[in-house]
Amino acid sequence: MDTSLIECVPNFSEGRRPEVVASIVAAIENALGQPVLDQHLDPDHHRSVITFVGSPEAVGAAALAGIAQAVDCLDLSNHSGVHPRIGVVDVVPFVPVRNVTMAECVALAHWVGRQVSARHHLPVFCYGEAACQAEYRDLAALRRAVRTALTFPRPDFGPPRLHPTAGALAIGARDYLIAFNVELETDALDIAQSIARELRAAQGGLPGVKALGLRLASRGTVQVSCNLTDVRRTRPADVFYAVVAAAKRYGIRVRRPELVGLVPTLEATLGFDAATRSSLFPDEKVLSRRLGLE
C-alpha cells in the first residue's frame, strides 16, 4: 500500500455559482477516486478553495481534471471579485504531507504545469519552492508582474500571452499555509488596509504573515484577509488577537474569524479558549485528524 500523501489546494475564480464549483469538485473527485476534504466558496472574493489529499499520481491527475473543468466552464473576462487573481485557476500548490519530499512536490508541479500548458495553451508560472525564475518565488510578486507589467512576462511553460478566457496559472510547491480572515464591524476599507499593513511580515509585523484589507460588499463590512505561511511561528490566534488589539485603537470591534480550508495540526489551533477552538477548528477542519495522523 502506497503511504505517500500530497495535499493540493487549488483556488478557482468562482464563488457565486455553487453548481459550477460542484462540477469542478466532481471532476477532481472522479480523478482522485475519493471525496475532497474541504471546499470553501466566497461570493465577495468570487473564489473557491478546494482541498484534497492523495498519492502523487492521483493528486496530479485530480489537479489536471479540476483545471480542465475550470478552463471549460469559467471565463475570466466576465469575472469580478476583491481577491487578486491571474486566471480562472489562480493558483495550484502541492504540499508534502507524508513520505513525500518537497523535491517530489516540485517535480509534480512542473509536470502538471507542462501538461496544462500543452493541453490548454495556458501560460504557466511556477512559484514557491517550484519557482523556475527567482523573482516569481513569491506569489504576490508573480501576480503583480502578470497583472501590471508593460510587456507580458515570460512564463515557465506555455505561450507568452494570457489565454483569452482562462488567463494564466500559478503552480507551485510549498509548506503548509493557513488562510485565516477576520471581519471588522465597519465598512471603512482604509482601516482594514491599515491593520493589514501592521500584520504583514514584510512591514515588520507577524512572522510569515501576508495580509490584505478587502471590502465585503455582500455583508456591508470589511475584512483583514491573511495567509499564514510559517505556521510554526504564527498561529491563527496570534493573528486574531493582533487584529482585535489594532481594531480597538480605531474604536471598532471584530466579528467571528473565518478559516478557509484546513489547518495542518491541532498545534496550529492553540491560543484560543477551548470553546472557540472546538467551534472554529472541529476535527474535520484539522488535516492531521482527517488523515488519522494524530
Q: Does domain 5-173 have CATH number 1.20.1070.10?
A: no
Please choose, from the candidates 201, 200, 182, 181, the residue with its C-alpha nearest in 3D space to the C-alpha of residue 252: 182
Rounded-to-integer distance, Cα 215 and Cα 64, Å: 32
Strand order in the sheet with 209-216: 209-216, 221-228, 178-184, 254-260
Which ranges of the chain have pLDDT less than 50?
1
pLDDT in tens, 282-291: 999 999 999 9
- Do the domains spanning 5-173 and 178-290 agree at the CATH topology level? no
Enumerate the domain spans of the chain: 5-173, 178-290
Cβ atoms of residues 46 and 16 within 8 Å: yes
pLDDT in tens, 180-207: 999 999 999 999 999 999 999 999 999 9
Q: Alpha helix (H) ranges present in the chain?
A: 18-32, 56-73, 102-120, 139-148, 189-199, 236-249, 274-280, 287-290
Q: What is the CATH number of domain 178-290?
A: 3.30.70.670
pLDDT of residue 1: 44
Active site residues: 83
pLDDT of residue 2: 59
Cβ atoms of residues 112 and 105 within 8 Å: no
Rounded-to-integer distance, Cα 142 and Cα 93, Å: 14
